[in-house]
Amino acid sequence: MTKVHPTSYVSPQAKLGNDVEIGPFSIIHDNVILGDRTSIGSYCELGISTPLGDGSPLIIGDDSLIRSHSVFYESSLFGVKLMTGHHVTIRENTKAGDGFQIGTLCEIQGGCQVGNYVRLQSNVFVGKKTKIGNFVWVLPYVVLTNDPTPPSNQLIGCTIEDFAIVAAMAVILPGVTVGHHSLVAAHACVSKDVPPRMFVAGVPARVIGETKSIKRRDGSKDAAYPWTLHFHRGYPDEVVAKWKAEIEDIDEST
Amino acid sequence: MTKVHPTSYVSPQAKLGNDVEIGPFSIIHDNVILGDRTSIGSYCELGISTPLGDGSPLIIGDDSLIRSHSVFYESSLFGVKLMTGHHVTIRENTKAGDGFQIGTLCEIQGGCQVGNYVRLQSNVFVGKKTKIGNFVWVLPYVVLTNDPTPPSNQLIGCTIEDFAIVAAMAVILPGVTVGHHSLVAAHACVSKDVPPRMFVAGVPARVIGETKSIKRRDGSKDAAYPWTLHFHRGYPDEVVAKWKAEIEDIDEST
Amino acid sequence: MTKVHPTSYVSPQAKLGNDVEIGPFSIIHDNVILGDRTSIGSYCELGISTPLGDGSPLIIGDDSLIRSHSVFYESSLFGVKLMTGHHVTIRENTKAGDGFQIGTLCEIQGGCQVGNYVRLQSNVFVGKKTKIGNFVWVLPYVVLTNDPTPPSNQLIGCTIEDFAIVAAMAVILPGVTVGHHSLVAAHACVSKDVPPRMFVAGVPARVIGETKSIKRRDGSKDAAYPWTLHFHRGYPDEVVAKWKAEIEDIDEST
């Protein structure tokens, strides 16, 4: 059964799925579609209208959780199992896949593409026109920029490829591609493309080596990367099974 | 006609101009003056009283827009066309000119001076006693500091001069002057004054060259700086006309 | 007399001390204990239940002040005179001492230990399992990390010892100990332990010298560190008296 707190405003034009919950003091505007079993916390405002949108609704997939004090504009699309922290701000024209996790204080400026099972930790800034692949990790206080010569009208988004990890407080400069399975160290400033499976660090960032040379800190002396070897928490079983099959293929071919 | 959402609290002592709009769940305290056609979003609290103020009201100029979840203290003054993002926090005793844009998650700690048409992008921290000139750009996650030997009682604000640009994740150390038309690169840590029209980068920041040597990325091979040559979006016509006249004067004198 | 704003929700199971004030549009859940004379601002949500907690209540000590738009989970404990800025987020299982100050936009991720009279300035990120001693200062936009090879299940918190200062935009890498009375410079990335009373800077951070060699900027030419020599604002008289006695002991022994 859908439960709307009596202090909340839900537009009669908004479309709510089954068993949706809307917390206290929240606002759901006209142009919003919420999937089944989705839960919206307190003090959230969803579906703010904007001339920068394409007129399409804000669509949130089934089984999603949006925590308190969060703001979403219309004209963005999220797959199933979206989960946010508190105080997030998401502008228009973003398309994201399933299982997207957005940490507390994150901001997505709009016009971005995000793959499946991407995890932004706290306070990540995603500039307009950013492209993020699948299974990407972005750690706290990372800034993904887009203006090569600020201020200008040439917005060139970054690209973060599948399985890449961008560590805390890194800045990715406009138009840079962070390659698949690569690792950007904490506090790096990345001005050149990062090759796949490599590890970069510094200001400006330089290639330090291959990610596979980095050891885990659990006493095992095993390689920490590719991280899909040992970290599976929160991913669907079928995804993990596919990762395992791919890794066995690599092992057999070497 | 002024529209106050029925869930909002507006003090009878607050002075609202014509055609003001106040969104849901907002609070306007006693010591507030809002200009004509100003719009306040949801979950905002304006005019919080503080013993650190000088007793003067919070004054917001005509045609301003304050977005949701924002907090303003009393004893600050903003010109016309103030525009904020979401979740901003502005303390007391700040004086800003016209056309000030403050991005989502910005914080201004109080006692600051800000010129005309200044743009702070998202999540900028402006420490107490900062001085910002006219037409300045500050990009995401910049920190403008003020304590030379923390913790101390010697707060020495930074100065950012006219037309300067401070790129993402830069830190400006206490008392530093960033010269007019200069550019601080992303992720720089600036411990010395930046000369006018120069470009600095690194930790600690060093002078890399003149800004005029930086090319645009639009295929034109033209100089990106001074940016007033090619970027005019959102500035009043009379301002842009003046910039053009000044640039012609320079061309003729060389 | 306790004052609860008529728009706020306070659970009948929550335990409020004497002379508590709850501002407009705030929510106090069941599992919350608020000390005497504590004041909660607007749009706050306290005591959010979580399966990650240990079932214990959120306990806030006497004479505390929590500012607007802040979020606290259950199962955390704060001593007397807690003071927060706006928009803070505090997760479960944190234990903090007296006089803890948490700036605007700070996030504490949970499972942290914090000593007495610690001051986090604005927008500080405290990762899970961080340990912070007594009288520590953490300046704006500092990130205290915990995952040595992200993503992994080995969360290794940082340790910040008594009287240490971590300046703006520094990152402390997982498991690093920042020694007592040491100073981490602005924008440093700290990958190794910082020895007591030393000053580190850079990316990666290196030891620059002893903190006692840094001079104050007040014209006195006196040493800026240990800062307890000259900075006492906001600390209880008995604490300051103890600092003075310790310093005299050192003077006599040298």
pLDDT digits (tens, 9 = 90+) for B160-218: 999 999 999 999 999 999 999 999 999 999 999 999 999 999 999 999 999 999 999 88
Percent of chain B with pLDDT over 70: 98
Q: What percent of chain A has pLDDT over 70?
A: 98
Reply yes or no on whether the pLDDT at C236 is more than 90: yes
Please report which confidence band the pLDDT of residue A220 belongs to, taking 50, 70 and 90 as the band edges. confident
Q: Which of C139, C165, C214 to mutate to test the interface with B (most CBs of B within 10 A)?
A: C139
Task: Assign A221 a pLDDT band (cuts: 50, 70, 90).
Answer: confident
Q: Which residues of A touch C148 (CB under 8 A)?
A: 217
Residue A13 has pLDDT above 70, yes or no: yes
Name the residue ranges covered by the structural domains of chain B.
3-213
Under the banding of pLDDT at 50, 70 and 90, the label for residue B248 is: confident
Tokens of B205: 């920041």
Q: Are A174 and A193 spatial neighbours (Cβ–Cβ below 8 Å)? A: no
Residue B105: closest C-alpha in chain C: C105
Measured CA to CA, the distance from residue A186 to residue C226 in angstroms comes to 29
> Model confidence at A72, in pLDDT bands (50, 70, 90)?
very high
Position C73, amino acid: Y
Tell me the C-alpha distance between A251 and B20, whole Å.
Answer: 67
Over residues B105-146, the pLDDT tens digits come to: 999 999 999 999 999 999 999 999 999 999 999 999 999 999
Chains linked to C by 3 or more Cβ pairs within 8 Å: A, B
CA nearest to C169 within chain A: A169
Tell whether ipTM is more than 0.90: yes
| Tens-digit pLDDT profile for residues C120-160 | 999 999 999 999 999 999 999 999 999 999 999 999 999 99
Confidence of residue C251 (pLDDT cuts 50, 70, 90): low
| Residues facing residue A77 across a β-bridge | A59, A95
Residues of A in contact with B139 (CB under 8 A): 145, 147, 150
A109: amino acid identity, one letter: Q
Determine which of A162-166, A214-218, B56-60 has the lowest per-residue pLDDT on average. A214-218
CA–CA dist A79, A94 (Å, integer): 11
H or E stretch covering C251: helix C237-253
Verify whether the Cβ–Cβ distance B203 to C187 is below 8 Å. Answer: yes
Q: Is A104–C89 a contact, with Cβ atoms under 8 angstroms apart? A: yes
Tokens of A226: 């590719």
pLDDT value at position B219?
86
Contact B76, B58 (CB under 8 A): yes
Of B148, B153, B203, the CB nearest to C231: B153
Residues from chain C that touch B175, judged by Cβ atoms under 8 A, are 217
State the pLDDT confidence band at A251, using cuts at 50, 70 and 90. low
The conformational region for residue B80 under phi > 0 = left, psi -120 to 50 = alpha, else beta, is: beta
pLDDT digits (tens, 9 = 90+) for C6-18: 999 999 999 999 9
Q: Which residue of chain A has the CA closest to C24?
A: A25
Those chains having 3 or more beta-carbon pairs within 8 angstroms of chain B are A, C
Per-residue confidence (pLDDT) for residue A219, from 0 to 100: 85
The pLDDT score that the predictor gives to residue B252 is 60
| Residues C188-226: tens digit of each pLDDT | 999 999 999 999 999 999 999 999 999 998 888 899 999
Query: Between the CA of residue B122 and those of A143, A150, B181, C215, what are the distances in Å?
Result: 10, 14, 21, 34
pLDDT in tens, B9-52: 999 999 999 999 999 999 999 999 999 999 999 999 999 999 99
Alpha-carbon span A23 to B32, nearest angstrom: 31
Do the beta carbons of residue A89 and residue A105 sit within 8 Å?
Answer: no
Q: For residue range A120-150, list pLDDT tens digits in order.
A: 999 999 999 999 999 999 999 999 999 999 9
Nearest chain A CA: its distance from B178 CA (Å): 16
Q: In sequence order, what are the beta bridge partners of C28?
A: C10, C46
Confidence band of A250 (pLDDT split at 50, 70, 90): low
- Is A140 close to C143, i.e. CB distance below 8 A? yes
C34 near C20, Cβ under 8 Å? Answer: yes
Pairwise CB contact (< 8 Å): A149 & B86: no
A contacts of C9 (beta carbons < 8 Å): 24
Beta strands (DSSP E) in A179-222 are 183-184, 189-190, 198-201, 206-210
- Using an 8 Å Cβ cutoff, are A36 and A15 in contact? no
Count of CB atoms situated within 10 Å of the CB of A208? 16
Q: What is the mean pLDDT of residues A65-71?
A: 98
Q: Is the pTM of this model over 0.90?
A: yes
Return d(Cα B227, Cα B136) in angstroms, integer: 11
Of residues B254 and A106, more confidently modeled: A106
pLDDT at A20: 98
d(CA B165, CA B140) in angstroms, rounded, equals 11
What is the DSSP code string of B80-93? TT-EE-SS-EE-SS
Rounded Cα distance between C171 and C185, Å, is: 10
Kindly list the residues from chain C whose CB atom is less than 8 angstroms away from the CB atom of residue A229.
Answer: none
Residue A9 half-sphere exposure, CB side, CA atoms within 13 Å? Answer: 16
Query: Which residues on A lie below 8 Å from C147 (Cβ)?
Result: 139
Q: What is the CATH number of domain A3-211?
A: 2.160.10.10
Q: How far is A129 from chain B (nearest CA, A)?
A: 16
- For the domain C3-212, what is the CATH superfamily, name and number? Hexapeptide repeat proteins (2.160.10.10)
Q: Is the pLDDT of residue B254 over 60?
A: no
The CATH number that domain B3-213 falls under is: 2.160.10.10
For A68, the closest chain B residue by CA position comes to B69
CA terminus-to-terminus distance, chain B: 54
Residue of B nearest to A25 (CA): B25
Q: Reduced to 3 states, what is the DSSP secondary structure of residue B49? A: coil
The residue-averaged pLDDT of A72-91 equals: 98
pLDDT of amino acid C253: 58
pLDDT at C198: 98
Query: Above 90 in pLDDT, residue C250?
Result: no
Convert the pLDDT of each residue in C64-93 to its tens digit: 999 999 999 999 999 999 999 999 999 999
User: Taking CB atoms and an 8 Å cutoff, what residues of chain B touch A203?
Assistant: 187, 202-203
Taking CB atoms and an 8 Å limit, are C151 and A141 in contact across chains? no
Q: What is the pLDDT of residue A247?
A: 74
Chain B residues within an 8 Å CB radius of A151: 119, 137, 165, 227, 231, 233
Average pLDDT along chain B: 96
Question: Which among B125, B144, C183 has a CA at the least distance from the CA of A141?
Answer: B125
Residues 6+ apart with CB under 8 A from C83: C64, C65, C100, C101, C102
Is the Cβ pair A137, C125 closer than 8 Å? Answer: no
How far apart are alpha carbons B157 and C202 in whole angstroms? 22
Q: Residue C43: list chain B partners with CB under 8 A.
A: 25, 43, 45, 69
Distance from CA of B149 to the nearest CA of C (A): 6
Q: Which of A125, A153, A173 sits opposite B123 (nearest CB)?
A: A125
Closest residue in A to C127 (Cα) is A140
Query: Contact, B54 vs B73, CB < 8 A?
Result: no
Given a cut of 80, whether residue B220 has pLDDT beyond it is: yes
Query: What are C's interface residues with A at a Cβ cutoff of 8 A?
Result: 7, 9, 25, 27, 43, 45, 69, 71, 87, 89, 105, 107, 109, 123, 125, 127, 141, 143, 145, 147-154, 156, 169, 171, 173-175, 187, 189, 203
**Under a CB-based contact definition with an 8 Å cutoff, are residues B26 and B40 in contact?**
yes
- Residue C122 sits at the vertex; the CA angle it makes with C163 and B97, to the nearest 5 degrees, is 135
**pLDDT at site C200:** 98
